[in-house]
């Protein structure tokens, strides 16, 4: 069974803080993705990575950065958290068309 884990289920941060969200997958997948999910908007791609140290911007990369130093780990960084980044963050990995999602991190920025 593929397992994708995320470092926290719930997180509360203050405006201006630097926030790290971590994602780990155990299936040796090349591709990893970070999405945010907001009501009525579906899932929107923030960044993705198709190899170690490689990253590509998704549809809404502003205010975010990512790091992939090891194949199994993909980190999302909010350089200076803002209230409009309050959302559910979902990580996924894939080898092909089927993506496997982690349980999500609900981030609240106050």
Site of interaction with other proteins (CB under 8 A): 31, 33, 35, 40-45, 48, 50, 56, 58-59, 90, 94, 96-104
DSSP labels, 65-77: EEEEEETTEEEEE
CB of 44 to other proteins, least distance (A): 7
Helix, strand, or coil here: 84? helix
What's the min distance (Å) between Cβ of 52 and other proteins?
15
> 41 or 52, CB closer to other proteins?
41
Q: Which is nearer to other proteins, 82 or 103 (CB)?
A: 103
Quote the CA–CA distance of 34 and 36 in Å, as a whole number: 7
Smaller CB separation from other proteins, 48 or 64: 48
**Nearest partner of 19 among 90, 80, 105, judged by Cα:** 80
Supply the minimum distance, in Å, between the C-beta of residue 88 and other proteins. Answer: 10
DSSP readout, 47-71? EEEEETTEEEE-S--TTEEEEEEET
């Amino acid at each position: 069974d593929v397992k994708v884990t995320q470092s926290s289920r719930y997180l509360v941060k203050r405006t201006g803080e630097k926030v790290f969200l971590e994602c780990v997958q155990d299936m040796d997948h090349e591709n990893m993705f970070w999405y945010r999910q907001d009501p009525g908007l579906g899932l929107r791609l923030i960044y993705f990575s198709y190899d170690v140290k490689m990253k590509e911007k998704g549809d809404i990369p502003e205010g975010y950065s990512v790091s992939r130093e090891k194949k199994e780990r993909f980190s999302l960084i909010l350089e200076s958290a803002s209230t409009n980044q309050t959302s559910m963050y979902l990580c996924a990995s894939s080898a092909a068309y089927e993506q496997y999602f982690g349980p999500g991190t609900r981030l609240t920025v106050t």
